[in-house]
Amino acid sequence: MESSLYVSLSGQVSMERRLNTIARNVANMNTAGYRADEVKFDSLVTSPGRDKIAFASEGATYISRQAGAIEQTGNALDVAISGEGWLAMRTGNGVAYTRDGRMQLGVDGVLRSVTGNAILDAGEAEIALDPLGGRPTIGKDGTIMQGNRRVGVIGLFSIDPQAKLSRVGNSGVVPDRPAEPILDFVNNGIEQGYVEGSNVNPIMEISKLIEVTRTFDSTNSAVQGAEDVRRRAIRELGGG
């Protein structure tokens, strides 16, 4: 009787985690380069007595690696990434990586993200453009040209598929394993004048929300049922 109550409560805790990720995803469905949060659930099995009891885990949140849709902007400082690469940017807490390719020139001529972080080359150095040098041209390998002069190369980095990603802002991530510069641009590259959108699927998120709501209602009914049984047992065993 008590076990059924705890199992139902564990289910509610896991659904709350799932609801939080859905809310975050929906809030960032129009954020460039945003990768959706997903939750992986496991069953925790315990054997306090003769029968095994399976509890729902709280859930492990991870960041989806699926790419978002590409939109043409025509802006010379907008770039989208083809393949699995990431742009590197220097933040106040070190180097982070992003798929948000909306860039701008700082007052110092340094190429920066829309949040003001310096975009880095393959050696993690800042890239400076000539504000008066004319419209830049960015090649697939990240080479930046102004007129006939090469002024820098945008770094493109690969992140180990097994690396765990932590968020920095909305579109930035920090892996728990070192990222490596990409040197082969056959399957990876940069497309100038495009931006990658969020990979959130609004229809799927709505479907998940409906599913979570129904499951939460079901577990809530189970909790209430277990509590009613407990009260009845106390009343009957107590002779009341």
**pLDDT band of 1, cuts 50, 70, 90:** very low
pTM of the predicted protein model:
0.77
For 13, the 3-state DSSP assignment is helix
Distance between CA atoms of residues 175 and 198, nearest Å: 19
Q: Above 70 in pLDDT, residue 179?
A: yes
How would you label 174-199 residue by residue, b for 16+ Cβ within 10 Å and e otherwise?
Answer: bbeeebeebeebeebbbbbebbbbbb
Q: Report which of residues 198 and 234 the model is more confident about.
A: 198
DSSP 70: E
Extract the tokens encoding 132: 């008066």
Collect all residues with Cβ–Cβ distance below 8 Å to 132 and sequence separation of at least 6. none
- In 3D space, the residue among 69, 118, 116, 71 whose CA is nearest the CA of residue 95 turns out to be 118
* Inter-residue contact 113 to 119 (CB < 8 Å): yes
Residue type, 233: A
**Given this model, what pLDDT does residue 120 score?**
98
pLDDT digits (tens, 9 = 90+) for 54-113: 444 555 788 999 999 999 999 999 999 999 999 999 999 999 999 999 999 998 999 999
Distance between CA atoms of residues 210 and 40, nearest Å: 18
Report the DSSP pairing between strands 172-175 and 94-98. Answer: antiparallel
Extract the tokens encoding 20: 């939080």
Q: Above 60 in pLDDT, residue 158?
A: yes
Distance between CA atoms of residues 36 and 25, nearest Å: 6
Helix pair 2-27, 202-237: axis angle to 10 deg = 160
From its phi and psi, is residue 98 left (phi > 0), alpha (psi between -120 and 50) or beta?
Answer: beta
pLDDT digits (tens, 9 = 90+) for 208-231: 888 877 766 666 665 666 666 666
**Given this model, what pLDDT does residue 104 score?**
96
**Given this model, what pLDDT does residue 7 score?**
52
CA distances to 1, 119, 123, 219 from 127, in Å: 65, 7, 11, 54
Determine the Cα angle at 48 with ends 42 and 54, to 5°: 20
pLDDT digits (tens, 9 = 90+) for 12-52: 566 677 888 888 899 999 999 999 988 775 544 444 545 45
Distance between CA atoms of residues 104 and 119, nearest Å: 10
43-47, 132-136, 192-196: range with lowest mean pLDDT: 43-47
* Inter-residue contact 88 to 119 (CB < 8 Å): yes
* Inter-residue contact 36 to 199 (CB < 8 Å): yes
Q: Above 70 in pLDDT, residue 142?
A: yes
For 170, the 3-state DSSP assignment is coil
